[in-house]
Amino acid sequence: MQNIELVYCSGKKQVKALDNISVDVEKGEFLSIVGPSGCGKTTILKIIARLINPTKGKIIKPDDFEVGYVFQNSTLLKWRSIIDNIALPLEIKGIEKQEAYSKAEEAMNIVELEEFRDAYPKDLSGGMRHRAAIARALVYDPEILLMDEPFGALDEPTRLKLNVEINRIWIKTHRTVIFVTHNVGEAVFLSNRVAVLSKRPAHIKKIIKIDLPKQRTLEILDSEKYIKQVLKIRKIFSQ
Ligand SMILES: Nc1ncnc2c1ncn2[C@@H]1O[C@H](COP(=O)(O)OP(=O)(O)OP(=O)(O)O)[C@@H](O)[C@H]1O
Ligand SMILES: [Mg+2]
């Protein structure tokens, strides 16, 4: 992203959400974006996904790349089974049924929901529904996976478990991930780098490289190395 600025216009009112955002994301990188509520994090993801155009600045990327987007309020269609939900993006794309379902099964296995293949969303826990939403985003093999606070509403142990799973999926699939959260601990646990945004209009206060082993385990949470990095970023966040 190069010098991105975004001004929302609703009626006569103008709201500047982003101010001069520049960041390079490497292929295969896990970048987290943290910042206060309402600062412009979701706006950044929407611009990357080409759902909205920046007012100024540009995004440089291959033309044909696809993004998988796990929205802040991801919802599964309640009248479709889990496998039918996961296969939906491929169905919309017009992929032939057999191929679509074989890819959907693969994505379902990655998030370990095989047992619930034919269950309906109401039969799943909140965390499992999030995993299904992640599988739905993974299914058409996107170069970039955008995740907008996917675990914001979950209790701590479930969130930690899913953090470990996301790390496992990331290592397994070599995807580029851009992950939005306002949980600094989660950002440090998951990422190669963490971008800290200011209050709205968001600019990047700092990008911090995370020094932790590639495979993240729950033991890391108690390590001095992890805690130090969390404290450092928390300080920048609240400055
Ligand atoms: N479609 C829109 N029209 C007008 N203003 C908008 C629109 N979408 C977002 N905004 C405003 O832009 C700002 C940034 O919104 P955004 O959703 O990007 O924040 P966020 O950092 O994702 O917040 P949260 O952490 O609460 O999800 C907010 O002040 C919001 O009111
Ligand atoms: Mg948001």
Domain boundaries, the chain: 2-65+143-238, 76-142
Ramachandran bin of 20, using left for φ above 0, alpha for ψ from -120 to 50, beta for the remaining angles: left
Residue type present at position 55 = T
42 lines ligand 1 (CB under 6 A): yes
Burial of 50 per CB tally in 10 Å (0-12, 13-18, 19+): exposed
Q: How far apart are CA 103 and CA 97, in angstroms?
A: 10
Q: How far apart are CA 200 and CA 198, in angstroms?
A: 6
**Res. 150 pLDDT band, cuts 50 70 90:** confident
What is the average pLDDT across 54-79? 85
136 lines ligand 1 (CB under 6 A): no
Considering every ligand atom, which ligand is closest to the CA of 200? 1
Q: Which residues have CB under 8 Å from 86's CB, separation 6+? A: 104, 107, 108, 132, 135, 136, 139
By most ligand atoms within 8 Å of CB, the mutation choice from 13, 14, 15 for ligand 1 is 15
Q: How far apart are CA 182 and CA 34, in angstroms?
A: 5
- Alpha carbon distances (Å) from 182 to 35, 57, 62, 111, 112: 6, 25, 29, 23, 26
214-234 pLDDT, tens digit each:
999 999 999 999 999 999 999
Highest mean pLDDT among 38-47, 103-112, 119-128: 38-47
Strand partners, 18: 6, 202
Other CB atoms within a 10 A radius of the CB of residue 42 amount to 18
Atom of ligand 1 nearest to the CA of 44: 18
**Res. 174 pLDDT band, cuts 50 70 90:** confident
Eight-state DSSP code of residue 104:
H
Quote the percentage of the chain above a pLDDT of 70.
Answer: 99
What's the whole-number average pLDDT of the chain? 92
Q: How far apart are CA 117 and CA 121, in angstroms?
A: 10
Considering every ligand atom, which ligand is closest to the CA of 6? 1
Q: Decide: 145 and 175 in contact? Cβ < 8 Å.
A: yes
Which CATH number is correct for 2-65+143-238, 3.40.630.10, 2.130.10.10, 2.60.120.200, 3.40.50.300? 3.40.50.300
